[in-house]
Amino acid sequence: MFDFKIVTEWLHGALTGIMPEWAAILTESVLVALAVITLYAVFAIILIYMERKVCAFFQCRLGPNRVGKWGLLQVFCDVFKMLTKEIINLRNTDMFLHNLAPFLVVTASMVTFACLPWNRGAQMIDFNVGLFFILAASSVGVVGILLAGWSSNNKYSLIGAMRSGAQIISYELSIGMTMLTMICLTGTMSIQGIVEQQYAEGWNIFRGHIPAVIAFLIYLIAGNAECNRGPFDLPECESELTAGYHTEYSGMHFGYYYLAEYLNLFICAGIATLVFLGGWAPLHIAGLDGFNNVMDFIPGAVWFIGKTFFVVFLLMWMRWTFPRLRIDQILALEWKYLVPISMLNLVLMALLVAFGLHF
Amino acid sequence: METTETKTQVQAAAPATPKPAAVKPAPKPAAPTAPAENEVKPIEVEPSALRKEMERLKAEDMDFLECLTGVDWMEEGLGCIYTLTSTSTGKVVHVKTATLDRENPLLPSVSDLWAVANIYEREVFDFYGIRFTGHPDMRRVFLREDWVGYPFRKDDETEKNNPLRMTNEPLADDTEELVLNADGTVTSKRNTIFADGDYVVNIGPQHPSTHGVLHFRVALEGETIKKIDPILGYIHRGIEKIDESLTYPQTLALTDRMDYLGAMQNRHALCMCIEKALGVEVSDRVKVIRTMMDELQRIDSHILFFSCLAQDLGATTAFLYGFRDREKILDIFEETCGGRLILNYNTIGGVMHDLHPNFVPRVKELIPYLRNSLKELHALFTGNVIFQNRAKGVGVLTKEQAISYGCTGGTGRAAGWHNDLRKTRPYAAYDRVKFNEVVREGGDSFDRYMIRMDEILESLSILEQLVDNIPEGSIQEKMKPIIKVPEGTYYSAVEGSRGIFGVMLISKGDKSPYRLHYRSTGLPLVAAMDTLCSGSMLADLITIGGTVDYIVPDVDR
């Protein structure tokens, strides 16, 4: 398979040829940061367009179809509209926290986004506790949501933020537990390590069979809850709390929440791809060498993005089919069902690994 | 007194079975010799004796206060007409009381006997200034709290006293209760609405789930609801007051604008009331057309109920599926009536236009189509475990509460109360079709939901029976150019989309009504919200509000 290291090493070589080592690394960091931000924006636009179209087809509608061919330019228009809108400052709010909150949310989401493995050798952050880092970084977002609710001085926002806090912290547990289950199988927390292993030995969802499938399903449910998306969109559920924690935000501050919501969806799906569906690793079937060679021919980035969008589609399907749960039901689902099941699942996986029953 | 009462009973208990015009010639509209079918002769009671009389009637099983109409009779005084119904025997009694004191009119409250009287008496206080002793919450209900005067009094100078106010409406935190002491003196005491430390959240007036401009002040304990105080009147248009200066055909135009999902039935009720008061018998064709239109409207309303409930619970896809199906019915309406929401179809003595040639084939297409798509809606939403968890056991209304609060329609039937007027007092063509009254026992949100879904099927079966049997005949009886209803008090009711829709008409023989009061289907439902929601969670308020299915323009009128 194509190794993206060739590009990065060539770039590094070229830069060190014309400038000192520290300046080369600084330039590379700036380039990488630009790449992350650009990708972030591009994926947000793709996801918003996809959500609109997918939701429309679920609902016997056509979706956006006026601006540009098939409404392709609709999202661009919306983004520009958002950028030009006034940011309204409210009296009696905690201005500093009110303005800080959206940046916390969007930063947490960007840092997590930077951890995703795009291709062999194409990864921005990679170290031996990569998965652990992802879990830690993604949790910072909840601080932003709580701050938004608290600083808005609005009862709806506060209720939304409290719900959100309770929900995200609860579901973090399930996510942690499923990650632990999979780490038990892989034996490493390094992101490239996990993917390389799946490239060599097959996707984790096949390798770990029963416990891996259970963990995958729990992860999808908990991940959806973590993104505050339907049926777990209680923190902002529009029919009770108008817009929940971001009721009082306008302009690009609201835009950041909107952006983060969609990117969190992508990140959630991306982690599922990374841990369960082999990341950028192509589909290999043992024994069919010809088929495997053809699969290897498809670039890793295509595999990764393709699989991620497949999971995104699953999550959208869930969102547009189910009604919303009530807060006590959400917490009951987590504490009474998902946590015990994932604990048992962890034990099951440990036994599987101990007795070498996995593939 | 005795004789009057017996007469009233006989008149009310006899089901108004309409006979085909061909069999029995209609009485001449010009000079009705017999008293009109729907004329009421109320028992007249002095205010001092009212309380005792009402207690006696309540003890005699008159457990449902169907309607309470405030009236200003000028020289006869200010007062009310109470319409009481027995849910076991179907007997109807009207009680009239009036006080001559215009400065400080007082009447005893009956809000402890019938829970719905609480809000009805507030309405009478709001419009006529009659204060009820023993009522725990004597606040205005529709008008602003700083309103001057009582606009429904015939001598009120409403516009002079109430210029356009540029200040925000004040909302009181406490309310007055008048206590009638044993020695006949009246003392006033203050009741607070919310306790001091209550966390009060405003749901509305601009809120996605209140289905209109409705305002609930909700006291919360965490996420649990402690108390709800509904604030009404944001779209109060004073339709009843406007009607007093319109001619009879003009009054019809406003009925569609009350319960816009029961436009056909509302207008049907008013037309029927005026026709019966005049002694006009409409043709068989008109009766059948009206019945079919009422049922189409009911299906339309119930599908919209499904859609909005799904939307409120976050199932946006189910919402659009419902709207897709509702569109078919609106198309049928559009062809025949010209309108989709505001239909203006019934007229006094008939209907506005004859059926469109496409009407019959389209209804025939609609019946199997809707039966199929109902299955789809059930598969998408009813069977969903999340919905079932959110609806089952939520907002339980017992049968006794439903009757006491006057929650008619699906809300009452979900609690096991047989209150379908199409069965108990058949009108139009309902006596010639077979259908089941859908009744369930649980009284929770899921039962209220299922009642509506099952009623769609019953309505489809009524349509199926009638669509091939629309008799020929005239669509409009000959009416005088200026319609004058003979002097008297008349009451007619139909089964609206969400309960009993009644029309109380008091005429002095003029070309416009002296008093026209509508028994709103939604007002009792909103009044019951506090009882329904207390102890539930905030999210349940949305489920309960969605399933009791009130329409705000109908509440406010």
Q: Calculate mean pLDDT across residues A222-242.
A: 76
Residue A14 has pLDDT above 80, yes or no: yes
Residues of A in contact with B205 (CB under 8 A): none
Helix (H, G, I), strand (E, B) or coil at B199: strand
Average of per-residue pLDDT values in chain B: 84
Inter-chain contact A323–B538, Cβ cutoff 8 Å? no
Of B165, B184, B203, which marks where a domain is finished? B184
Inter-chain contact B386–A320, Cβ cutoff 8 Å? no
Looking up residue B394, the CATH number of its domain turns out to be 1.10.645.10
Average of per-residue pLDDT values in chain A: 85
Provide the pLDDT for residue B191.
81
Based on the fold, state whether residues B133 and B256 are members of the same structural domain.
no
Helix (H, G, I), strand (E, B) or coil at B294: helix
Higher-confidence position of A4 and B34: A4
Exposed e or buried b per residue across A91-112, where buried means at least 16 C-beta atoms within 10 angstroms of its C-beta: eebeeebbbbbbebbbbbbbbb
Angstrom distance (rounded) from CA B337 to CA B256: 13
Residue A200 has pLDDT above 60, yes or no: yes
Provide the pLDDT for residue A238.
64
B406 domain-assigned: yes
Based on the fold, state whether residues B353 and B460 are members of the same structural domain.
yes
Scan for tokens 């500093």, then name that residue: A96
Angstrom distance (rounded) from CA B370 to CA A357: 53
Higher-confidence position of A257 and B32: A257
Q: Calculate mean pLDDT across residues A185-210.
A: 84
Inter-chain contact B386–A322, Cβ cutoff 8 Å? yes
Based on the fold, state whether residues B268 and B332 are members of the same structural domain.
yes
Inter-chain contact B316–A156, Cβ cutoff 8 Å? no
Closest Cβ opposite residue B537 in set A55, A59, A328: A328
Based on the fold, state whether residues B179 and B261 are members of the same structural domain.
no
Inter-chain contact B384–A323, Cβ cutoff 8 Å? yes
Based on the fold, state whether residues B375 and B271 are members of the same structural domain.
yes
- Could you report the per-residue pLDDT of B298-353, keeping only the tens digit for each? 999 999 999 988 888 888 888 888 888 899 999 999 988 888 888 888 888 888 88
B454 domain-assigned: yes
B166 domain-assigned: no
Judge residue B46's burial from the number of C-beta atoms within 10 Å of its C-beta, 0-12 exposed, 13-18 middle, 19 or more buried.
exposed
**Chain A nearest CA to B315, separation (Å):** 4
Q: Calculate mean pLDDT across residues B23-36.
A: 52
**Chain A nearest CA to B272, separation (Å):** 39
DSSP 8-state code for residue A69: G
Based on the fold, state whether residues B430 and B303 are members of the same structural domain.
yes
**Chain B nearest CA to A324, separation (Å):** 5
B511 domain-assigned: yes
- Could you report the per-residue pLDDT of B189-204, keeping only the tens digit for each? 888 888 778 888 888 7
Based on the fold, state whether residues B116 and B244 are members of the same structural domain.
no
Based on the fold, state whether residues B43 and B143 are members of the same structural domain.
yes
- Residue B3: partners with Cβ closer than 8 Å, 6 or more residues away: none
Residue in chain B closest to A54 (alpha carbons) equals B317
Please report which confidence band the pLDDT of residue B11 belongs to, taking 50, 70 and 90 as the band edges.
Answer: very low
Provide the pLDDT for residue A263.
87
Give me the numbers of helices (H) and strands (E) for chain B, helices first please.
19, 16
Looking up residue B137, the CATH number of its domain turns out to be 3.30.460.80
Based on the fold, state whether residues B365 and B500 are members of the same structural domain.
yes
Closest Cβ opposite residue B314 in set A159, A323, A328: A323
- Residue A133: partners with Cβ closer than 8 Å, 6 or more residues away: A115, A125, A127
**Chain B nearest CA to A83, separation (Å):** 26
317-346 of A, contacting B, C-beta below 8 A: 320-329
Closest Cβ opposite residue A58 in set B313, B314, B317: B317
Report the amino acid identity of residue A29: S
Q: How many CB pairs (< 8 A) connect A and B? A: 80
B373 domain-assigned: yes
Residues of A in contact with B316 (CB under 8 A): 55, 59, 320
Closest Cβ opposite residue A230 in set B201, B314, B540: B314
Token pair recorded at residue A114? 């930077």
Provide the pLDDT for residue B34.
66
Nearest to B40 by CA among B431, B524, B517, B478: B517
Q: Which parts of chain A fold into alpha helices (H)?
A: 5-18, 21-58, 74-84, 95-114, 130-139, 141-151, 155-186, 191-201, 204-207, 209-226, 238-241, 251-275, 289-297, 300-321, 327-332, 339-354
Based on the fold, state whether residues B138 and B244 are members of the same structural domain.
no
B269 domain-assigned: yes
Domain that holds residue B481: 239-556
Angstrom distance (rounded) from CA A182 to CA B263: 60
- Could you report the per-residue pLDDT of B67-114, keeping only the tens digit for each? 899 898 888 888 899 998 888 888 888 898 988 888 888 888 888 888
Provide the pLDDT for residue B367.
92
Residue B26 has pLDDT above 50, yes or no: no
Residues of A in contact with B386 (CB under 8 A): 231, 322-325, 329
Inter-chain contact A59–B316, Cβ cutoff 8 Å? yes
Nearest to A32 by CA among A2, A7, A63, A60: A7
Inter-chain contact B316–A242, Cβ cutoff 8 Å? no
Quick check: B92 and B41 in contact, CB under 8 A? Answer: no
Closest Cβ opposite residue A59 in set B209, B317, B389: B317
B228 domain-assigned: no
Residues of B in contact with A326 (CB under 8 A): 389-390, 537, 539-540
Mutation target vs A (from B199, B214, B223, B541; most A CBs, 10 A cutoff)? B223
- Could you report the per-residue pLDDT of A70-87, keeping only the tens digit for each? 888 888 888 888 888 888
Whether the CB of A243 is below 8 Å from some CB of chain B: the reply is no
Residue in chain A closest to B210 (alpha carbons) equals A239
**Chain A nearest CA to B553, separation (Å):** 20
Whether the CB of A52 is below 8 Å from some CB of chain B: the reply is no
Please report which confidence band the pLDDT of residue B369 belongs to, taking 50, 70 and 90 as the band edges.
Answer: very high
Whether the CB of A153 is below 8 Å from some CB of chain B: the reply is no
B7 domain-assigned: no
- Residue A154: partners with Cβ closer than 8 Å, 6 or more residues away: A247, A248
Based on the fold, state whether residues B408 and B534 are members of the same structural domain.
yes
Inter-chain contact B390–A329, Cβ cutoff 8 Å? yes
Inter-chain contact A155–B199, Cβ cutoff 8 Å? yes
- Could you report the per-residue pLDDT of B439-494, keeping only the tens digit for each? 888 888 999 999 999 999 999 999 988 888 888 888 888 888 888 888 888 998 99
Inter-chain contact B380–A156, Cβ cutoff 8 Å? no
Based on the fold, state whether residues B308 and B412 are members of the same structural domain.
yes
Provide the pLDDT for residue A65.
86
- Residue B24: partners with Cβ closer than 8 Å, 6 or more residues away: B281
Residues of B in contact with A321 (CB under 8 A): 315, 317, 380
Closest Cβ opposite residue A231 in set B202, B314, B541: B314
Please report which confidence band the pLDDT of residue B22 belongs to, taking 50, 70 and 90 as the band edges.
Answer: very low
Provide the pLDDT for residue B299.
92
ipTM confidence score = 0.80
Of B28-32, B101-105, B182-186, minimum mean pLDDT range? B28-32
Residue in chain B closest to A229 (alpha carbons) equals B314
Inter-chain contact A159–B541, Cβ cutoff 8 Å? no
- The structural domain count of chain B equals 2
Residue B16 has pLDDT above 80, yes or no: no
Residue in chain B closest to A160 (alpha carbons) equals B223
